[in-house]
Structure 1
Amino acid sequence: MRINQSIYQNHVKNYKTEMVIFKEGDHGEEMYVIIEGEVEIRKRTSSASTKTLIVFHKGDIFGEMALVEKKPRSASAVTTKPSRLLVMNEPLLEYMIEKNPDFARKMIRILSERVRKANSMIQSIMSTNQQSQVLNGLKSYAGEYGTSTFKGLRVNIASFLKWAQDHLGITEKEVQSNMQVFLKNGTLKYSAKGNEEILIPVEPGKR
């Protein structure tokens, strides 16, 4: 993504580690492009704790939804290492979309993907069947992080348990209990590595 040098100089800010870029509930008037560094998006789960939703790295864009929708920030953004960010307000965003086709295409892809993921998450949250929630979460995780084999997708159990607690809001004990049900009824199987990995079999017709 090409950035005009004058724009770069006038709109770039440097942040130290653990600096708050914006807080959940803030009015959003800017979005950000990471030039260097790393940023976590954190959501309040109680008055004393937060949950990390996603980690952004060099080249990633974040904070655009509040700017586009004119709504308060839905989560907080905090640097996890020294970072340099391009800070874009609405006039600059419009200028970049008009003058930089690469940037415009990237924005369209990002917005489309975020809407798709949001819809998927809403469907998962609305599910009253915890087993379905765990299984759908497992399939989603396997599609992104699993190892593809002829027999199916291999998933490290410990890694999935941690992911499930962060993304599904279910305790490790509940996830393990539901996974045991799937192992007993044949929905899941242990891989050749034993009880460290599970195998999600390939569905008929999808080999």
Structure 2
Amino acid sequence: MSNVAEVLARMRLFDGMMAADLQQVAKLVFVNRFSTGDVVCREGDHSDFMCFVVRGRLDIIKRGQDDKDVVIAHLHAGDSLGEMALIDHEPRSASALASEESTVIVLTRKGFEQLRKRSPQAAHVILMNIARLLSGNLRRTSAQLAQYMLPLN
């Protein structure tokens, strides 16, 4: 990948970040490639990294009723996964599988902590963008849940 900072600049979680800070982030990440069918992470696993999809498609899979897997999202270039891993230190809430050849940029919790020390403003931008993303996800989930709830009356 020619210029990681330029690729990161196109990702939503880096909206509003200054070019110098993007260069700092670029030094703390690495690129990983997955073949079709590869597991990126599994539900319940220890979570210590997040990924930014550069190319390809990842399916997000959640264990549903009767232990059947359900695809709950498809991620494409510009999307991210594992945001909660940087915040809550809890196990993975879902699995991610490459549904086609995919390239991701990986930011580990350790890398994020280094960024927080080197450039607190950059870490702040990422955290605010994660908060916006998670808030949007929660609003969509609430709307979907309301469709399945019984009315008050």
TM-score, normalised to structure 1, is 0.51
Higher relative contact order (CA 8 A, sep 6+): 2
Structure 2 gaps of 5+ residues are: 1-8, 10-21
One of 9, 13, 18 as aligned partner of 2:32: 13
**Which amino acid letter does the alignment assign opposite residue 58 of structure 2?**
V
**Which amino acid letter does the alignment assign opposite residue 83 of structure 1?**
S
Per the alignment, in what secondary structure is the counterpart of residue 69 of structure 1?
Answer: coil
| 2:51 aligned partner | 32
| 2:110 aligned partner | 91
**Which amino acid letter does the alignment assign opposite residue 45 of structure 2?**
D
Shift in Å, 1:70: 0.6
Cα 1:60–1:99, aligned 2, differ >3 Å: closer, same or farther? Answer: farther
| 2:72 aligned partner | 53
Matched residue pairs, number?
Answer: 130
**Which amino acid letter does the alignment assign opposite residue 150 of structure 2?**
N
Tell me whether 113-122 or 17-26 shows the greater mean CA deviation. Answer: 113-122
Contact residue 28 and residue 115 of structure 2 kept, 8 A: no
| 1:118 aligned partner | 138
Shift in Å, 1:87: 1.4
Structure 1 gaps of 5+ residues are: 131-207
Contact residue 60 and residue 94 of structure 2 kept, 8 A: yes
Contact residue 96 and residue 104 of structure 1 kept, 8 A: no
Q: CA RMSD in A?
A: 3.2
Contact residue 56 and residue 101 of structure 2 kept, 8 A: yes
| Percent identity of paired positions between Structure 1 and Structure 2 | 23
Shift in Å, 1:94: 3.4
